[in-house]
Amino acid sequence: MHPSNPANFFLLLPAALALGWYGSQTAHIIHHTKGSRGDRLTVLILGWFPLLSWLLALLVWLVERQP
């Protein structure tokens, strides 16, 4: 992936969203089978981490482009 093309970051968005969906489904299964008290943190980590990492990569790319 060449960093000069911003479209490359948008190509990663569907993968990040799919990972987030899979993570939230996994957290849902953990909740119903284990009943642990750390469910909100599990959903946060598994569900939002891929999307937040994509946004961070986009932010870093935008900052590095500044002259």
**At 5, which amino acid appears?**
N
pTM of the model: 0.48
Tokens of 44: 């946060």
**Per-residue pLDDT reduced to its tens digit, 36-56:** 666 676 667 677 777 777 777
- At 12-33, the pLDDT tens digits run 677 777 777 777 777 777 777 7
- The Cβ of residue 1 has, within 10 Å, a number of other Cβ atoms equal to 8
Question: What are the helix (H) ranges across 1-67?
Answer: 7-34, 39-43, 49-65
Q: What is the pLDDT of residue 67?
A: 66
| Residue 57 or residue 35, greater confidence | 57
| Spans of all domains in the chain | 17-65
